[in-house]
Structure 1
Amino acid sequence: MKICRVLIVDDEITIRKGLTKLIEKNAPNWSVIGEARNGVEAIEQIRTLSPDLVMTDVRMPHMDGIEVSRHVHETFPGTRVVILTGYKDLEYAQAAIRYGVLDFLLKPCPEQELLKVLDKAGRLIMQDLQKREVHLLEQQLIEEHVVRSLMLRLPYDPNKLEDIHGKFARKELLMLKVTTYLPDTKSYRKSDLPLLQFALTNIVEELIGTFRLKGKLLPVIHDVYAVFLEAHPSIPEFAGSLGDALDQVLGIPNVIHPVGYIENVAQLPACYEAVASESSRTDALPDSTLELQTVNQNKVRAVQDEIMSKIMLGQSDLMKEYVADYTAGLKALPIEKAKLEALTLVLSLYVIIQKEFSQEQSILDIGEPLSALRLMNEPDDVLTWTSGQAELFYREFGSWLQHKNENIIAKAIRYIEDHYMESCSLTEVAGVVHLSHNYFSNLFKKEKGESFVNYVTSVRMDKAKILLSNTNMKIAEIAESVGYDDPNYFTTVFKQFVKHSPREYRKHSNNQ
């Protein structure tokens, strides 16, 4: 689940702060990534931050909300806009409809109306995201098909050559050849081949990440793979580790061919033929599984993102519900499909444990789940095993969470002490400690006995009192020194907390 990002644009600081507080408190799937005082600032921040949604006032100095809507519509088509307006401005604001404005909110914004608009925007943003993901996957499959056809000297669409040249040429190329998927040392069956291929592609991609390389894996035929990598000095070590990992984890004999730098995709057929000419045992596998490998790897990443988003939002119950629903769905699938889906989920859980919960980074060992899965003949067995793996994951998650919470508030407080003079927002500090703003807010209040906003304000007021008592700085300078751009707003907050205005407090301190 995606965390949607919103930029708030209004020339009144109280409106900006009020909306930010409402969103951070009541909309866990949203993050306020910035504020702007006018349209000019908004356009610059949109360009820098790429928000999913802009909530903008209509009447502002320098550039109004209508002009902001027009600019977003023409320049940032992936960003949605909601107009904030008063009753007297409503007719004027409706001029923005021609720029695709999503909705209008009347100020002051009632909480329920705000949440309703955010829910509507969130659904549309997710729909757009899913459409883009489907389109990107389709493009990826088409490009891989063209490269595969080029390597095999099969017909392909020449109009696609320019697209693939930028992604597959001027790269370091490794060719991986599997000698056999059915070695005498293993009791693999031909029905295990899709699982073995899935496991192989996962090991390659995990190692690419472990070595911090940039690249992609392309299955050419069932026993030959091309690995395209950006130039990096660790590629020879990666190649050695890859061969060892496939042999140790899967027991699959293989040969790695470091082809070297590829200037042009026209070189690819010869690269493939040099590898394919080597003798190997025949393990028949339909070519239709090649594109399935790409789909499976994309699904592993999607499942990881879904689980981690719920963890980061502090929604452990929803995370467990997602895993339980995914597991329950295995029962209705044919056995081989159920195995692949179970492996997808369990690999996702393993990767999260390794990357997020573990202090040590190592090659993911998928030999154990693969060995267990391949011997199963009934969907019920797959379901039971998958549920057991999920329980192991929950235990690791519980230990990680307990350890993480012990130091998280201390880290947040240190950050506040060092950055109180900056924006130091709930969303910012939550990001520093890698939690959702909603979860962090609840945790902070539980541990400190007061809200995050109140704590930060108290720190700022204490610093301001020191400056008022011990320096001749102007009120505006002190306001800026403790994190307030607007000295009038600083004065209002100071009076609320201290029961005196800054001038009164200074005068009282000097008379003592």
Structure 2
Amino acid sequence: MYRAIIVDDEADVREGLQLLVNWQERGFRIVGEAANGAEALAYMPIWRPDFVITDIRMPVLDGLEYIRKVRRQFPEIAVVVMSAYGEFHYAQEAIQLGVLDFLLKPLTRQSLAQCMDKAKALLDERDQLRGRERAERQFIQEKWLQELCRGKLVKPDELKLIGDMLHCEDDECFQVLLLEMDDYERYVAECSESELDLKRFMIRNIAAEIGCKRGWLQTYEDSQERIGMLLRHDPRKRPELETLCSEIRDSLRRFVKISVSIGIGKPYRSWQSIRQSRHEALQALEYMLLEGKGGVFHYGQLERYYHSGDRPSAGQAPFNIDTIIRSLDDTDPVRLNRELDLFFEKIRTGAKTPELVRGLCLELIMGMVRLVREYDGDVSRIFGERLQEYETVFVKRSLDALRQRIGELSRRTAQYLSELRAARLPDVMQEVKAFIDEHYSDDISLKMISAHVYKNPAYLGQLFKATFGESFSQYVTRLRIEKAKELLRKDQLRVYEIAEKVGYVTLDTFYQRFKQMTGMNPTEYKHKISS
């Protein structure tokens, strides 16, 4: 709704114009009226009109002089002039002053309506142009702010320009604040790009609305999952800063159901050091790995951990990396899962910094890589062509997510090692299988076969199960029953004859094994396939 005023020395004319058309239906709201140009000019800063309709001949300050002053102070206002027939010679001068239209008194409903529609179209176009210019300025300013915070603006003239753009004094201190979406990976999987853009907009809008109350400078898109803010630093208001950060976080959670973590860098006086403040805000966000998501992390409170001299190395710390690697090598999934739980529990209670956490996890992954290489395996099968899985350690933002991903890598590694071991077994296992396939109808046993291949029976049984995924007795039983089913389908032999042919001495044992494998006895199976 555009703001309009009426300027005329006759009260009846002013009232009549208000009643002549429905101003609101045409997009206008009358915010004031004046009896002469001087009175109108005095109230212009208060009324802030977009549209002025004024008479020419008025006392104190006439319409033409009023328009001249309006044009100098408020050049974007749409002005329409009214005049009696005898004053038409004023029209030329009014047009030279840039009035939108010249209306003859008395005004008709149609002439006023047409004039208002014309004014609204002009104002709409003005606002669209302003919007485009504002968007362009915002884009340029945000781009420069991104470059500043990433340390890509270093020339003195560039730094001066960004200072002028943000209306900053040379001796002011600034710091960077970063808001990171906690569930960004889930949003990427579940949301469209437009929905993601909407979430970014809501974070930015709420942060800007709360922040601008305290003189915060500017928001910008730091990355796909983070919104950045450049703040004026006031050491007297540090508690207030953290309170406001909590307010932003809580407002996002309450009103738009978005959880964010907030990292705050230290303040710096020079523009060249803003990149350091952003880097510190990123480091502060790393602490969500230890503290959990949804917090406010101030680098100034955490930096003592980064510079402490008592950080244990992975080799010195009581972390069970070697035990986990042995569990992988032994293909013991229960033990492996237990050791991984113990590893991450020790991290929760013993690791002081995200840096140490990621270092320990990297050492664990490198141990997996070494183990695969010891078996002459293809490392890229588990860890990617360029060992991309190393990046897992740096992109996961919570211990739970890191535990889940390393658990998946461990299980895949254990399975692959099992396959590699099977491939490396001597040909004797294939010989054992071939022997069973040929002699399944005989009274064979592991002891008999181990003597044939010169192996210990217990060790041979372990190798057989590791190689073929089932025990010796399970394989023999399955093979005999499959052969019996073939005979029941094809031959006209009696059931006891088939039992003897596949290696069963007693019919009862054959019936029992057959039912265990198929859910029915041989006679029922024969009737089923016959029907």
TM-score normalised by structure 1 residue count: 0.47
Q: Greater relative contact order: 1 or 2 (C-alpha under 8 angstroms, separation 6 or more)?
A: 1
Between structure 1 and structure 2, the one with the greater Rg is: 2
